[in-house]
Structures are given as structure tokens and as C-alpha cells.
Chains A and B, each alone.
Chain A
Amino acid sequence: MAKQSEQITTSSTAEYFSKNLQQVGFSSQTKAVLTTLKEAVDNALDACEEHSIAPEVHVLIEKVGLGSLKNSEQIRIRVDDNGPGIDPDNVPKVFGEYLASSKFGRGRCSRGQQGIGISAATTWAQLTSAVGARVITKTSTMRKAMKCSVEVDIKNNRGVVKERVTLDWDRPHGTSVEFLVDGRVQVNGEAGLLNYLTATALVNPHLTLHYRMPDMDKVVVKRVTTEVPLIPEATAPHPHTMKLGEFIAHSHLFGRVKVAVWLKKGFSRITDSVCDEMVKTGGLPALVLDTLVDKVTEVQFKQLFSVIQNMPLLAPSTRSVLSIGEEGFEKSIGRLGSVDFFAAVSRKPAICDFKPVQVEVAVARLQNKVSEADSSAQVLRFANRVPLQFDKASCAIVKAIESVNWRAYGLVQPKNSLPQGPYIIAVSVVSPFIKFKNASKETIDASDELVEELRRALIQAGQKLSRYIRRELKANELELKIRHIEQFCPILIDGLCRITEAPEARKEKAKAGLVKLLGKDAESTEKELEKAVIASQKGKEV
């Protein structure tokens, strides 16, 4: 009989995560605060968008006292939203159960996917403060709001509701969630709370955000559009995004139908004409398309798969990915500060690593950051509109930025590095299936295809940006020329006249001649400047 120590036991998902919270963003005290805030805000935004509600989110971060962990403080993190509210039966699942999600594997571009994050935040609060999440929620059909605290039953991976009461609430629907956690507040810097909130506002033009943090007055960032982005419904998979095994498994989902019917029904971008092309140019026997899917042999499946992979199909539908759009970026970018100029690019969706991806880039120069000419440009990374703040170096976005020759667009850039100067480079990757490097979703995997797609977007943005920079250079050049004329003309003529002992009359004549000559140079620069201004005005400007 095996010893007790050798017995194989099963652990609950909650048990696993409670022991490995560092894998989901709770690796340090400062990160714990940020991750908790992030999970709560992401859920609030997702909930609002699901119900086409323009989100109004209130964030409160305050220090309550000393924490139980060494060198920590107890921090209150509260996020209120005007979302649809949560059905009371679902409250323990949302806040207290791991992998309970309405979005997992649905192929939609929502922020949350697996249903881990907010449960992990509850676990952290429970482990450090012995109190779970405190929730108030009300749906529009509820007469009164429900107030309770939710804890994670770690042994059984279940949410447990405690202290449940009903109360009158001052809003028709919404959710308020509060965590008391041990941690440390880092407001500024790349991994700071402020960076997270401003970046979130940038990619969510429809969001009104109120926040209050320690040692700060309350800040309100108003929405710049009332248009709530429509989260696109998941579309049928694109055949180029599949591997052979998935392809064959997919055939069994549609019952006993003919192959042609299955293809048209089960995939996007396959039409009658595509089926005809498969036979005509792809060399697929017409018989295969008329065969019932359960009668297709493995050899036929392989042949069919190979023919489809070699067919030039339309790219996946733009409906399957959600974009911020150049217009959205334009409206939102002013919220980062006073912007000199900026360029935004929304690429058409493309397939990278078998998945549809849309890349969007905005590059802006900030007026109030001119003094930071020698420091690297600020990079804001987004995955499904969630800011990424850690592990920058290995992220596909940073690798792509470093691979672009920004010098060609008038920016300063040390070799293989980020460009320098008072610039913000915001890059958003939206996809129903983003390949993250870790469960805490901090870094996007730098596959060659994705880096290349990002690079193309960045190059386009750089080209747009260079129009503004060129205009600036021309203006500087003109100023320099005029200054040169004013400075050197008298010196040159005086010197020549002294050496040749020329009289005053000759001096004046020569001065007039010189101004005429150099004036022509300045005139031509002025014309070039005018052209540059016209070119830059053709682009969009803040």
C-alpha cells in the first residue's frame, strides 16, 4: 500500500490560485493594489459595454492604517460603476469563484476572459485583511440594492456570501465593490496607479472617470464621446485561423450535412464562389463538397484543409474585433495633456498566428514635456483596451517600436532603442484571442507575425508624424536663415570694406546686395514651409 505522502490528491482551482497569486498579478505589495484596481475597473467597463451603457466609474484609493504584512499599509480600493448590476445569484460566482466567466472562449474582444482576476483580488483581500470583497449591487429590475461581503471558499472554489442585507440605493442600477487589502500605493511612474487610470481613459473615450487617491484632490476625466462601442458578436471562425485538428473537430458541430453546407455555415468568408474556386483552381474533387461530413475520410479532410489554406480568402471580418478607431484616439488624446500634434493609425484587421488581430497606434508629442528631450518616449501598451504596465522589455509592442527607424521621421533614437523626446506612443492590440506571456496578462507574446503587424502600424504613424516634424524643421530653418542674415551680413561687409578700404557708399550698396541675395534663400524656405504646412493640414491635427 502506498504511503500517505505518495497519495495523489486533487486540489481546487481556488486552492491553486491562492497559493500562486503572484502568477496573476499579486507578486508585490504595489502590484497587488494596482491589480485589484485594474480587475475592478475592467469588470465595470466590460459590464457597461455589454449593456451599451456609457460608463461612469468612481475610483477611491485610500490608506486606512497599517497592514498586517511587514512594511505594508491597509488600503481601501473602491470602484463604483453605473453598469447593469449583478443578479444576486451571480454575485458569489463573480467575486468568489475562479474560472466562472460569461466570456471564456466566446471569441469576443472583452477585457476579461477567464474569470480569474476579480476572484484573485477577493482572495488577496481575504488573505491579508481577513475580509473578502464588499459588494453593493442593483439591477434595474431590483427594488432595493443588495449589500453583502463575498469570500472565496478556497477548498471548494466557491463564493460564499456573508452579511447579506438589502438597502435603498441612490441609483437605478450599478455595482460598487470594495476591497481592503494590504499593499503599498505607487501613484506615479510607469507602473503607477495614475498611469493606469490615464491610459484607461485614453482608450475609452466614452468613459467618465472620477478618482481620488492619497494626497491628491479628486479628479474628474469627462467622456469625450457618448458613443458606446458596440462589442461585436463573435463571428464564425475564419478557416485560416484553424489547425487541421480543430478543423476536423469543427465539422462535427453541424450535424449530418454536406461539406459545402458545413463550410458555408461554420466558417466566415466561405461562399458559393469560394467553393467553386476550390474545385476550379484548387484542384479539389467536386465530389468532396457533396459528401456528408461524417462520410469524409481523413485523406479528404487533409486535402480540403490544404486547398482552403492555399485559397486567397478575404481577411477576417472587422466585426469580430473591436477598434478604438482613429477618431476615438483623436478625441481622447487631448486628455493626456496639451498635445502639440499627433498621428493615429488604425490598421485593418489581419491574421497573426491564426487569430484575427487589429492594431491601432497613436503617437503624440506633449507640450509640457519638452524638457524631457533626452528621456525615452513614453509607451502606453494596451491589450483589448487594458493598459499593460509590467515586463515591458519582452512585450511584442516594445520590440516592434524598437525595430522601427524613428530617425527617418525626425525623432531622436539610439540604436535598437525606444525613440527619445516628449512623445507618447500608444499601441493597442485588440483580438478575441490575445497571446499573453503569463496568466497576469502583463505582456503580449512577441511572435514574428504580430511584431511585423505592429511595426507596419508604427511605420504608418511615423510617416504621418513626420509631416508635422518636417513643418517644424522648416520653420526652424527659416528662423535660422533670417537670424543668419541679420547677424552675419553686417559683419561680412564691414570686414570686406576694412580690408579693401572701401568708402561708406560701397558698404551700403554691398549690404543691400547681400540682403537681396540671402533674402531669396529665405523666400524659398518660406515657400517650402508653406508647402509643409499645407501637407500637415491635410493630416489630422488636434
Chain B
Amino acid sequence: MKERQQDEKIPALSRALCERLLQDLERARRPVLYATKCSLDNAIYNHKIGYLTPGAKKVATELSVGSVKKMSRTIFMLEVVLRNLSVGAVNTKRELYYISKGEIKHNSTLKPLDFESQDESDEIIDFICEMLECYREELNCYANDRGGQTYSQQLIVTETLPDGDIAVVELGKLGTTPFQPKNRPQNLKLSTKKKIDFGLIVESEGTANTLVANGFTKRHSCILMGAQGVPSNAVRGWCKLIQDQLEVPLYFFGDLDAYTMQNIFRTLKAGSASSLIRNKDFSAPDVRFLGVLPDDIKKYDLNDYPVRESDAQEVRALKKAQDALKNDPFFHDKRNKGLTEILEWLLSHKRRCEQQAYFTVDPRDPVMPEKIIVDKIRRGHYV
């Protein structure tokens, strides 16, 4: 299947696909469905592009007695989705599961397609996305997630609603309430009251709130966002939007451990292997790793501690980091040498240091972490 162009519409693509299948069947030829293989062994990283892109590997599903059920379910779900798109209806995966159940309930001939659990219908939706190389949002199937809690005195967000109304949100007027974009951040238009110097993405939403409460956004012309741990699609899309529309430098501040480096930061910066199709709009390649850096431990005399061998999660993270060094094209790229070195340091020292450790530097000064962060940005002490 050729790569989809941005202007190609899902309905047209779907119809073309179905036409091909039908023609094959008319000729008694086995139709084949091709879907992009979304896994690390099909991920390519090019620093000029900045995120993980899919390679040439496709998963081919040829029609057979074994696959006829999956194909029938795919066409059935595709029809449901196309109907949604035609009327502008929006659903979650869970709702689509129930819509499918409803269709089957009212038409007994469809009974063999029935999904026993949501996992089965989710798998079909994902398969459609991989086949059409589109995001689920393009199928009007939205996840219930939202971009990270965002604070700024300067940022203004303009949203054109489906009915044509325009909504303008001035973040500086929200007081202590954070702004959290929903669904498709790509639909938002960003502007600023005055020039923004930088954006800071903090791994812990709690720490982000503390920084704001202590006046970070008042003292600095910036955007401050909580990443909610592993960044969701919405967080990643929101960061990408800020990066592209405002062209401000973005910094990530989080724990110094293998999990943060590999699961959180790499996903934010270059996307993930399981979402190769959507990394283009859901990763922010310009974001830099501000810390905690291994040097910071010594420089600020931070409290760090060894990885607990008894903690299965921590041990698993180290093992995954080892695999990443071996197999992840992102860490193979020499432009990311600094990040690779951090991962190697973590593996060899088997120690970790949390972002909140900055509070140990001067326990009586609540803005000490802010001072360190700003100082690091000013001195260019990041990777």
C-alpha cells in the first residue's frame, strides 16, 4: 500500500481498499490486507526527521479460512467508522465496542462477528489504523486523555469548534486552574502576549504545580507543563504543537532513571515503536533533557540511591534499557550520544535520583529548584 498523503481522505481510501478486495474476490483471487508493522524492528530513526518512523515491513493478512473472521470484522468496523465520519459523530473505543454490539443485536445475520470483549474490537480498530496509516482520531475515535496541565502568563489558545464558533483561552487569566487541551491539539492555534523564552515539561505533575504555586510562571516568560508520567498522545501532540507554532526551546525535567529516560523522555522526543504511524504529529524532537543529569548529583550533592534488586519494576526498567541500547535506533544515533551515555551511566552505576532531590539543596528555600532549573537553562547544562 502506498504511503498516505495528508490530503487523502479516509472515506476515499477505505472505498478504494474495499473495491480492491471486492475485485480480487470476483476473480477468485485471495485478497491481502497490508498493515504497517508497528514494532521496534520496523522503526527507523533519522535525526533530521527527529522521530521514529515506520520502515518497509508490513503485516500481510491474506484471506483464508483462518483470517476470514478478522477480515469480516474489519470491514464491519470500517463501515461503522465511515458512517461516524459521514455524520461527524465522535466516539471512544469503548463506545464503538457497544455500537458494534448494538448493530449485531439488531441484525442476527451479523452474530458471528460479535466481540466477546472490548479487547477484540480495539484490536480491529488498531488494525484499521495500521492499514490506513491513520490515527484513531482521524476515524473520529478519541481517547479520553488530555494534554498535560499547562500554565503560562503569556499563552493564548484559539480553537475553532466544529460548529464554526471560535473559543479563545487566555491562560494568564485562569488563575491557579491549568489549561488542558483535549482530543486533537492539532486543531488549536497558539499565540502569545509577549515573547516566550522557554517551555518546561516536568515529569511530575505535582512538582509542576509546586513550581507554579511558588511563582515560576510569574517570574519567567514561559510555558510550564506537567507530563503525567509516561506522556499520553495528547501530551505529546500538545508539546509538538507548542514546538512547531511557537518555536520556543523545550526542556524536560524529570527523574534520573532508566524508566524516565527510555519510556518517558524518548517517547516525548521521538515517539514510540507501537505508534510509528502517529509519531509525526505526536512527538517533539526539539525537547532537551534538562535533568536530573548524572553531573547534578555531584554538583548539587543530591540524594540518590541504588536501584533495589528486589523491585521488579526497577530491575525490568534496567533490562529494558539494556535492550534499548542494543536495539533502539534512537539511542544508536550519534546525535543522541549524550542520552545514550546517561543510559549507560544508569546501567553501570545502578543508581537513581529523583527530580524532587533538588529540594535537598536548600531545604529552607522553596524556590531553590526553580533557581537550579533556570540556571541550568541559562548555562546550557542539558542534553
Contact = CB atoms under 8 A, between A and B. Distances in A.
A492 B72 CA distance: 5
B243 to A, nearest CB: 38
Contact of A484 (B68, B78, B79): B68
B157 interface: no
Given A485-B68, A513-B27, A491 B110 contact: yes
Interface in A476-492: 480-481, 484-485, 487-492
A491 B22 contact: no
A135 to B, nearest CB: 68
Interface stretch (B13-21, B232-240, B301-309, B375-383): B13-21
Contacts of A522: 65
Nearest to A482: B65
B371 interface: no
B30 A492 contact: no
B25 A493 contact: yes
- Give the dominant DSSP class at B's interface: helix
B63 interface: yes
A492 B69 CA distance: 9
Contacts of A538: none
Contacts of A518: 63-65, 68
Interface string B54-82: 00000000011100110110011011001
A484 to B, nearest CB: 5
Nearest to B11: A499
A497 B78 CA distance: 13
A231 interface: no
A500 B18 contact: yes
Nearest to A522: B65
B28 interface: yes
B109 interface: yes
A513 B71 contact: no
A492 to B, nearest CB: 4
A511 B22 CA distance: 10
Contacts of A516: 28
Contacts of B69: 484, 488
Interface stretch (A188-196, A451-459, A502-510): A502-510
Interface string B29-63: 11000000000000000000000000000000001
Contact of B18 (A488, A499, A521): A499
B12 to A, nearest CB: 11
B352 to A, nearest CB: 37
B10 to A, nearest CB: 12
B25 A487 contact: no
B367 interface: no
B368 interface: no
A496 interface: yes
Contacts of A512: 28
A516 B79 CA distance: 25
Interface string A220-256: 0000000000000000000000000000000000000
Contacts of B76: 491, 495
Contact of A481 (B14, B65, B109, B113): B65
- Give the dominant DSSP class at A's interface: helix
B26 interface: yes
B68 A499 contact: no
Interface string A501-542: 010001001111110111001100000000000000000000
A214 B64 CA distance: 60
Contacts of A514: 25, 28, 63
Contact of A487 (B21, B24, B27, B112): B112
A517 B30 contact: yes
A496 to B, nearest CB: 5
**Residue of B30, B63, B72, B112 contacting most chain A CB atoms (<10 Å):** B72
A485 B68 CA distance: 8
Interface residues of B, number: 29
A56 B75 CA distance: 70
Given A500-B15, A502-B22, A490 B63 contact: no
Given A485-B65, A488-B68, A495 B26 contact: no
A415 interface: no
Contacts of A485: 65, 68
A70 interface: no
A9 B27 CA distance: 101
Contacts of B22: 493, 496-497, 500, 502, 506, 510
Given A485-B65, A517-B28, A499 B109 contact: no
Nearest to A492: B72
Interface in A326-377: none
A506 B19 CA distance: 11
A490 B15 contact: no
Given A484-B68, A491-B72, A499-B75, A517 B63 contact: yes
A181 B21 CA distance: 81
A498 interface: yes
Nearest to B21: A496
Given A481-B65, A517-B63, A518-B64, A488 B79 contact: no
A518 B64 CA distance: 6
Given A491-B110, A492-B72, A513 B65 contact: no
A493 B79 CA distance: 12
A264 to B, nearest CB: 67
Contacts of A489: 68
Nearest to A510: B25
A481 B66 CA distance: 8
B64 A521 contact: yes
A193 to B, nearest CB: 46
B248 to A, nearest CB: 45
Contacts of A480: 65
A147 to B, nearest CB: 72
Contacts of A506: 22, 26
Given A514-B25, A518-B65, A499 B78 contact: yes
A480 B66 CA distance: 9
A495 B64 contact: no
Given A499-B78, A500-B18, A488 B26 contact: no
Given A499-B18, A514-B25, A518-B65, 12 more contacts: A485-B68, A491-B76, A493-B22, A495-B18, A495-B79, A499-B15, A499-B78, A510-B22, A510-B25, A514-B28, A514-B63, A517-B29
12 contacts: A480-B65, A485-B68, A491-B109, A492-B68, A496-B25, A497-B22, A499-B79, A512-B28, A513-B25, A513-B27, A518-B64, A521-B65
Please name the 6 residue pairs, one residue from A and one from B, whose CB atoms are nearest each other, closest first: A513-B28, A495-B75, A510-B25, A487-B112, A492-B72, A481-B65
